[in-house]
Structure 1
Amino acid sequence: MATGLAPAAPETILERLQKLHPKLIDLSLDRMHRLLAALGHPEHVLPPVIHIAGTNGKGSTLAYLRAIYEAAGYKVHAYTSPHLVRFNERFYVAGAEIADAPLAAILEECERANGDSPITLFEITTAAAFLAFSRTPADVLILETGLGGRLDATNVVERPLATVITSISMDHMQYLGDTIQAIAGEKAAIMKPDVPAIHAPQRFAEVPGVLDAYAARAGAPVSRGGAEWRAKAENGALLYESALGTRRLPLPVLPGLHQIDNAGAAIATVEAATDRLPVTEADIARGLQTARWPARMQRLTRGPLVAALPPGWELWLDGGHNADAGRVLAATARTLWADKPLHLVFGMLDTKTPQDYLAAFAGLTAKVRTVAIPGEAHSLTAGQTAEAARHAGLSAEPADSVTDAVAAILRADSPPARLLICGSLYLAGHVLAENE
């Protein structure tokens, strides 16, 4: 453990912290409660918290909320995971990504308070986030769960301002259960008595019943997408309807049909919190237009990969990594990208199911080049993902790197097309580190 006056670099501290528990993931709240008590309970002195759980759409919903509240002039904290390029991205403190020196200082403070007791990296860094947020004034903290909800390290906030459940699908089954009902039950457990609970529309028919039942037991008032509120794209605008009336707003800046539901959930949350954090319709409109969430259907416009593209080609990046993310991405491509051929560069971790993800692209994509994710011990090999792609009905060949994959696609004689790099946030982070 460090004892010098100046903190080490964050990367050095994080490397030490990873050794405090033999497992990367071990869902429990006992270790969090112990460490937070040793730190003086920073979770009790946070600004009003909006707590978000779900499988897909958590980050985008957070991005809309952050942009709306900042458009209204509020100071915003936000906590997200995983990061794409730098660990600092997880800590958004009063409007800015935390700098290295304060991050290192709070990590070492948590390390000293924890001692040699077992604790996972996510738990101790979540405690560090609470420490940073408790010491810097802000008007709201938007808090994203890491995994699940019931035993997630963020679920120590006893009375948030609101909770949000985004789209739920099959993912992390080894930790959350092997049925959609079990997974929904884990995520539902962020709901609290008398705290407004906002639910996005759900694809699986079994999910709303699970969420409603938990809300009834918890005594949480519910605002459900498709019932208490509705959002849809209509004539180039976002039409949002609730008991407070109808709003005609700009379409969200983040591309994709699924962003209508994510934006709708954010607006419903803003309405639920309006007594504590009032915003105007102009604030909502501006937030929808200024939200930024990298690696979610993001078009890359600079970097060596973009420079290698012939005229008329486009390069896109998406970090979605489960079957439902693949389905949504493919549906958007079919609707919005019908004007050009689509090629994929694909990589995925071995904890995921590549064939399920890629099945939605059958008949949609012309070529797939698969890659291993650089620096990730749990990456599937390029050969494994190519085989999965073929089983999904796609034409696929492995490549040694993203650069080689792009070059192989460009060597083929074809008209201007779109290249989509997809399958993993870790792959997306590698690409962004070199191309943004």
Structure 2
Amino acid sequence: MIQPGLERIGLLLKDVTFPWKAIHVAGTNGKGSICHYAATLLRRRSIRIGHFTSPHLINRWDGIAINDKAVDEVAFKRVEKHFTDMSLRENINASSFEILTATAFTMFNKANIDIGVVEVGMGGTLDATNILNNQAISVIAKIAKDHEGFLGNTLTEIARHKAGILRPNVPYIVNPMNEWNVHDVIDEYAKEIGAGPRLVGDTPKLRENLYSLPDWRRFAQDLRPFQRDNAVLAIIAVKEALKSADKQTIRDDTIVDELNKKRIQKPGRFQFMHVQPVFKSPDDLGRFIIVDGAHNPDAASALHDFMYKERYRERHRRKQLERELAPREGWPVTWVLAMTEGKDAWKYLSAILKPGDTVITTSFGPVDGMPWVKSMDPSALLQTALSAQEGITGFAMPLPGAVRAVCAAKYLTSIHSQIVLTGSLYFVGDLHRELQGRNRYDYWKLKRNIQDQKTFMKMHREERERAERFLSGRDIDLSDRQDTSTPLEAAGGSEASSVMQKNVKIQAEIEALEKEMDLLTVQELELLNSDRSSSEASTQDQAEEGTSTTPQEAGENQHTGSQSSNRYMNAPDSAGDPFPTSVDEPSPFEQEFKKLAGRRREPQVEGEERGILSLPGERMKGDHPRNRNPNVHPQSAGTMNRRPTFLLEKKKRESL
């Protein structure tokens, strides 16, 4: 459990000194990004740097880095064991985070670093990292409500905790986007202890030497406003730390080059990520997902702004998918969510959800070194989402797993929309752990992955069936369903043989129906073409025989024939309708054909856009150019080649 206080960490590090200078960063949102920018600017210089951040993403030692490389696992566990044994031997009862902090600082000492970038775990005053007494600068990022049970229920109470990292005669800087009362609390505390001076990010010198540079303007245009604030805070912190450590400062005209040259997207922070076991290649449906560890309402608002107002709509506007403009509020989003127990899920979800969105809730696994962290129940989280925003749909996953949830999301997401995995950094860590060694672009081509591929193919079948049941509108409570295996996999012994025979028979009948449908389509087109040829021949004969036809009548006939041809060939008119109206009364056959295509197109196009009919390695019928009828307009070819739902529904129900 969490035990705020400095007594235990003080006993662990009672004989340890800190010869290096520290950039100490506290705050609710953005402190991880500030540390990332600062470490980026410091690396590859003629100094040794350490970087300590929490929580870890995959393994406990990932959050401790020396010169941008995670520390060795064996060395980490050796130092960690020393402090664990010490805590037991001397009855210190240190928490896992306190042991982790002591391990990080000791490894920094052993590595002889010059500057350490240290992220506060929670709060500030009573956080284990506040044992530091060697700060070069204290940085306070954006403050919002979080961990209210430990830090207080108001921003001023939380700000007082964060201000606890300030030190006498040590400069500090505060994110300018904080509330005015937050600034007042921090400045008042700084005055009490004699901290300072307070630095600012907008100075005439920086404005002249950095912000006026074209490179900086181009760099800043790619960032959200809060990201620019974090970058500026990191720049000020690095300059002050280098000066405090008696090292050569970084030149303003090289800052952007350093950030661009070595900038690597911080995992779990607005991260664009390919998930090869789910999408098989960057060109497949979805291409990538967005991963963000936002876990409080303030971070959720930033994520909402990121998704709906700039980057997301611009991406679709640039690609002009199907020549459509993005809706005013952006395309609907499929949210894959897992949250920690105790978080204000209603406020969080209210900040990100919009009508039309889809929500898939799941859970994350146990957190290494933090047994007190529990995942919220997926069903309860789903109910909270449904109450937080009207007009959304979704279901709770009966089985845990980040990749499985993303797989389910694939089959519920249209080609226009985006999948976003968020709610907790622990959930983001689960995704990265599950993809270790699997997220290669050639994952589905490597023979050594055959067994693993079979596992994922089974998962794809299960989640595709779940999505089909959900989209079919059947009265099934998916959140309570525990058995996700297919009927054949669930059957055993002699039952398996009978089930297989039944499925083979049903599949043969389905294929026969498809062949009949294809044949009927060809016959229909031949019949329509022959009717058109006969009509043209009759018109030509009339002209040769000298029949009396006025110019107006000839023009009307020509116009009617053109419209009929367009209708027969499914060529869209200017409005994009594949069945434009004609001055002629359509025949019963034409009316039935329009009904058939409408039924086939309306429910099934939505499902097909959502990827329900295709698995990795499969190709949808009619998808290859050689399978398309050359007499059909390309925009209508997909409609004519798709499986007729009204013919196959009975067979599918029997197979299930």
Length-normalised TM-score, structure 2:
0.57
From 233, 236, 239, the equivalent of 1:268 is: 236
Given the alignment of the two structures, is residue 168 of structure 1 paired with residue 164 of structure 2, yes or no? no
Given the alignment of the two structures, is residue 372 of structure 1 paired with residue 363 of structure 2, yes or no? yes
One-letter identity of the residue aligned with 2:6: L
Pairwise CA RMSD: 2.5
Question: Helix, strand or coil for the counterpart of 2:285?
Answer: coil
Tell whether the 8 Å contact from 1:46 to 1:133 is kept in structure 2 after alignment. Answer: no
Alignment of 1:140-289 (within 5 A): 140-223=115-198, 228-230=200-202, 241=206, 246-248=211-213, 249=216, 250-251=218-219, 256-275=224-243, 276-277=246-247, 278-289=249-260
Question: Helix, strand or coil for the counterpart of 1:154?
Answer: helix
Tell whether the 8 Å contact from 1:63 to 1:291 is kept in structure 2 after alignment. Answer: no
Tell whether the 8 Å contact from 1:355 to 1:388 is kept in structure 2 after alignment. Answer: yes
From 280, 286, 293, the equivalent of 1:319 is: 293
CA distance in 1: counterparts of 2:224 and 2:433, whole angstroms? 23
The match for 1:3 is: none
Rate the CA distance shift 1:100–1:253 in 2: closer, same or farther, 3 A: farther
Alignment of 1:383-398 (within 5 A): 383-393=379-389, 395=392, 396-398=394-396
Given the alignment of the two structures, is residue 360 of structure 1 paired with residue 360 of structure 2, yes or no? no
Tell whether the 8 Å contact from 1:159 to 1:192 is kept in structure 2 after alignment. Answer: no
Question: Helix, strand or coil for the counterpart of 1:266?
Answer: helix
The match for 2:523 is: none
From 96, 105, 108, the equivalent of 2:78 is: 105
Rate the CA distance shift 1:159–1:409 in 2: closer, same or farther, 3 A: closer
Q: C-alpha displacement at 1:267, in angstroms? A: 1.3
From 378, 385, 398, the equivalent of 1:382 is: 378
CA distance in 1: counterparts of 2:434 and 2:255, whole angstroms? 33
The match for 2:491 is: none
Question: Helix, strand or coil for the counterpart of 1:270?
Answer: helix
CA distance in 2: counterparts of 1:273 and 1:107, whole angstroms? 28
Question: Helix, strand or coil for the counterpart of 1:50?
Answer: strand
CA distance in 2: counterparts of 1:209 and 1:362, whole angstroms? 33
Asked which structure has the greater RCO (Cα within 8 Å, sep 6+), the reply is 1
The one-character-per-residue Cα deviations of 1:58-110 (angstroms, maximum 9, x if unpaired) are: 11100000010115343210111110111111211243211111111111222
Query: After the TM superposition, which of the residue ranges 384-393 and 198-207 deviates more from structure 2?
Result: 198-207
From 97, 108, 133, the equivalent of 2:108 is: 133
The match for 1:82 is: 55
One-letter identity of the residue aligned with 2:36: A
Tell whether the 8 Å contact from 2:168 to 2:194 is kept in structure 1 after alignment. Answer: yes
The match for 1:33 is: 10
CA distance in 2: counterparts of 1:99 and 1:284, whole angstroms? 30
The match for 1:406 is: 406
Tell whether the 8 Å contact from 2:50 to 2:116 is kept in structure 1 after alignment. Answer: yes
CA distance in 2: counterparts of 1:171 and 1:399, whole angstroms? 27
CA distance in 2: counterparts of 1:312 and 1:305, whole angstroms? 10
Rate the CA distance shift 1:161–1:419 in 2: closer, same or farther, 3 A: same
The match for 2:335 is: 344
CA distance in 2: counterparts of 1:415 and 1:67, whole angstroms? 36
Percent same amino acid at aligned positions?
27
Q: C-alpha displacement at 1:193, in angstroms? A: 0.9
Q: C-alpha displacement at 1:420, in angstroms? A: 0.5
Rate the CA distance shift 1:31–1:410 in 2: closer, same or farther, 3 A: closer
The match for 1:52 is: 25
One-letter identity of the residue aligned with 2:387: H
Tell whether the 8 Å contact from 2:166 to 2:190 is kept in structure 1 after alignment. Answer: yes
Question: Helix, strand or coil for the counterpart of 2:290?
Answer: strand
Instruction: Provide structure 2 residue ranges, at least 5 long, that are not aligned to the other structure.
Output: 317-330, 368-372, 440-656
Q: C-alpha displacement at 1:245, in angstroms? A: 6.4
Rate the CA distance shift 1:419–1:365 in 2: closer, same or farther, 3 A: farther
* Count of residue pairs brought into register by the alignment: 399
One-letter identity of the residue aligned with 1:425: L
Compare CA radii of gyration and give the structure with the larger one.
2
Tell whether the 8 Å contact from 1:80 to 1:91 is kept in structure 2 after alignment. Answer: yes
Question: Helix, strand or coil for the counterpart of 1:273?
Answer: helix
CA distance in 2: counterparts of 1:299 and 1:413, whole angstroms? 17
The match for 2:69 is: 96
Question: Helix, strand or coil for the counterpart of 1:295?
Answer: coil
Query: After the TM superposition, which of the residue ranges 243-252 and 267-276 deviates more from structure 2?
Result: 243-252
The one-character-per-residue Cα deviations of 1:117-163 (angstroms, maximum 9, x if unpaired) are: 21111112211111111111222101111111101111111231111
Query: After the TM superposition, which of the residue ranges 398-407 and 328-337 deviates more from structure 2?
Result: 398-407
Question: Helix, strand or coil for the counterpart of 2:293?
Answer: coil
Rate the CA distance shift 1:364–1:284 in 2: closer, same or farther, 3 A: farther
One-letter identity of the residue aligned with 1:345: V
CA distance in 2: counterparts of 1:245 and 1:399, whole angstroms? 49
The one-character-per-residue Cα deviations of 1:193-252 (angstroms, maximum 9, x if unpaired) are: 11110111234332111111112222222446xxx3249xxxxxxx99459764532526
The one-character-per-residue Cα deviations of 1:335-367 (angstroms, maximum 9, x if unpaired) are: 221235422111101121111111122327621
One-letter identity of the residue aligned with 1:106: V
Tell whether the 8 Å contact from 1:165 to 1:199 is kept in structure 2 after alignment. Answer: yes
Rate the CA distance shift 1:431–1:369 in 2: closer, same or farther, 3 A: same
Tell whether the 8 Å contact from 2:275 to 2:289 is kept in structure 1 after alignment. Answer: no
Question: Helix, strand or coil for the counterpart of 1:420?
Answer: strand
One-letter identity of the residue aligned with 2:70: E
More helix by percentage? 2
Rate the CA distance shift 1:423–1:96 in 2: closer, same or farther, 3 A: same
Rate the CA distance shift 1:84–1:296 in 2: closer, same or farther, 3 A: same
CA distance in 2: counterparts of 1:174 and 1:77, whole angstroms? 31
CA distance in 2: counterparts of 1:67 and 1:240, whole angstroms? 22
CA distance in 2: counterparts of 1:201 and 1:220, whole angstroms? 18
Rate the CA distance shift 1:355–1:303 in 2: closer, same or farther, 3 A: same
One-letter identity of the residue aligned with 1:427: F
Rate the CA distance shift 1:281–1:298 in 2: closer, same or farther, 3 A: same
Tell whether the 8 Å contact from 2:332 to 2:354 is kept in structure 1 after alignment. Answer: no
Tell whether the 8 Å contact from 1:69 to 1:283 is kept in structure 2 after alignment. Answer: no
Query: After the TM superposition, which of the residue ranges 318-327 and 252-261 deviates more from structure 2?
Result: 252-261
Q: C-alpha displacement at 1:288, in angstroms? A: 2.5
Rate the CA distance shift 1:222–1:246 in 2: closer, same or farther, 3 A: farther
Rate the CA distance shift 1:403–1:33 in 2: closer, same or farther, 3 A: closer
Instruction: Provide structure 1 residue ranges, at least 5 long, that are not aligned to the other structure.
Output: 1-23, 232-238
Question: Helix, strand or coil for the counterpart of 2:360?
Answer: strand
CA distance in 2: counterparts of 1:384 and 1:420, whole angstroms? 20
Q: C-alpha displacement at 1:255, in angstroms? A: 5.7
CA distance in 2: counterparts of 1:307 and 1:203, whole angstroms? 43
Tell whether the 8 Å contact from 1:162 to 1:195 is kept in structure 2 after alignment. Answer: yes
CA distance in 1: counterparts of 2:57 and 2:144, whole angstroms? 22
Rate the CA distance shift 1:75–1:126 in 2: closer, same or farther, 3 A: same
